[in-house]
Structure 1
Amino acid sequence: MDFASFREKIGYQPLLLGSFALLASGALAWASNATGEAIAAAEAKDLRDSLSEVLPAGLADNDFLKDTVDLDRDGKTVTIYRARRAGQVSAALFKVAERGYAGDIQVLMAVDMDGRTLGVRVLKHSETPGLGDKVEVRKDPWIRGFDGRSLGDPGPDQWAVRKDGGVFDQFAGATITPRAVVKAVRGGLEFFAAHRAEIGS
């Protein structure tokens, strides 16, 4: 049987297609294995850098990426990264989110065991450039206004932007964005307070 007549047989196309699929999946598996460790290491470095941005130097002598506890918040799992010094939990680092003007605003915060914020950063948002993006620390220092705050400072009625009777500034033309961040940080502090014992163990 010559190649031309073999090619006309009904099983030729599926056989050829299957061979290419097998080769392609093998190549993808090899590439995934070859780059998997490098990708995981890069992701871990990015996460560590982000967490270190909200955690003041000297508060952790442990690898807080490996010291975690998962807790439930409104049906979603929140991973708490625990910073320890001399074996004692000194701070909790975690993400919270609230709906902004154009989508969810993801906030990373560090809280000490007394319930005070050590640092807050916006990790991800879809807010309007030039207006709502002032929540980014590289564009405006506004986000640093949460440093050292707690549920008692300011009082419960003042955890809001000035337009709503609170102590936090809003941006001209973009009140919804800072309002969402204030709500996220307050919610994060309430979440921490409700789970302080579990986090500190």
Structure 2
Amino acid sequence: MKFLKKIIINAFLMTLFSIFSLSSIMYINNITKKKIIDHKEKEKNILFKQIIPSNLYYNFKKKHFFVRNKLLGDQKNHNLWLFFKNKVAKAAIVETVAPDGYSGSIFILVAAYFNGKIIGVRVLSHKETPGIGDKIDISISNWITKFNNMNVVNLKDKSFLLKKYGGKIEQFTGASITPQSVANAVNRTVFFIKEIPLMFSLKK
């Protein structure tokens, strides 16, 4: 009887310990997850301020949506922010992806007006080769700023080809796949932004 009682007590203590451990892990995971999300949101806000004029950032109302479109590089949900002035949509920022980077997918933030004029572009994350393909990162070079004020005419806009192919995009020494991949993604994404007023029945 004493032996059975001892087993029950030990089982109870082990169960209690397991519940406590699991609860602790879940609690820590939730805290860590929230911190990661908050950190990413802060990074995005910093990038927002870098790629759009202060007037647009502070004086326009920003609304968030999720969108799914093959022009954004995959079939996943992508973040979309629309900027309104007097209830009229003026511009958009979209999280997009270049799926064909040299070392994998390149995640990008693109801001543009609905007429196809690019406001700014920033790379959110990538795995490109250090010293070569990583020049797409604003912390490495200002290459990404060359898209500012470019206009997208259509999906086959030759301006977004590398110069060696007759376009206007600078390539890197020893790297052509990475910059062309980013340029293609920017072209597709801005073309998507041009279609947003029709998709959302918005006034330009």
Q: TM-score range by the shorter chain?
A: 0.7 to 0.9
Q: Determine which of 3, 9, 12 is the counterpart of 1:15.
A: 12
Worse-matched range after superposition: 86-95 or 128-137: 86-95
1:170 and 2:178 aligned: no
**Cα distance in 2, alignment partners of residues 127 and 34 from structure 1:** 30
| 1:88-121: CA deviation from partner (whole Å, max 9, x where unpaired) | 2221001111121111111111011322110001
CA contact (8 A) 2:114 2:193 kept: no
1:34-81 CA-partner distances (Å, limit 9, x unpaired): 7777665544333322222221210132452xx123222123322210
Q: CA deviation at 1:14?
A: 4.2
1:48 correspondence with 2:48: no
Q: Please, what TM-score do these two structures have when normalized by structure 1?
A: 0.82
CA distance in 1, matches of 2:35, 2:128: 32
Partner of 2:68: 72
Q: Which runs of 5+ in 2 are unaligned?
A: none
Sort the Cα spacing of 1:175 and 1:88 in 2 relative to 1 into closer, same or farther, 3 A. Answer: same
In structure 1, the partner of 2:120 is 119
Question: Which residue number in structure 1 is paired with residue 187 of structure 2?
Answer: 186
Q: Deviations over 1:164-185 (max 9, x none)?
A: 2211110010111101011110
Q: 1:195 to 1:107 in 2, by over 3 A?
A: same
CA contact (8 A) 2:91 2:112 kept: yes
Relative to structure 1, the CA distance from residue 63 to residue 48 in structure 2 (aligned partners, 3 Å threshold; closer, same or farther) is farther
Length, aligned pairs only: 195
What is the TM-score when the length of structure 2 is the normalising length? Answer: 0.81
Deviation of the 1:22 alpha carbon: 1.3
Aligned to 2:88: 88
Amino acid at match of 2:189: G
Local SS of the residue matching 2:188: helix
Question: Kindly tell me: are residues 47 and 12 of structure 1, through their superposed partners in 2, closer, same or farther at Cα, counting changes over 3 Å?
Answer: same
Out of 17, 21, 26, which is 1:24 matched to? 21
Structure 2 residue identity aligned to 1:152: V
| Residues in 2 aligned to 1:41 and 1:156: alpha-carbon distance in whole angstroms | 37
State the shift of 1:160 in Å: 0.5
Q: Which amino acid letter does the alignment assign opposite residue 95 of structure 1?
A: E
* Partner Cα separation in structure 2 for residue 167 and residue 190 of structure 1: 17
User: Is the contact made by 2:161 and 2:169 (CA closer than 8 Å) also made in structure 1?
Assistant: yes
Unmatched runs of 5 consecutive residues or more in structure 1: none
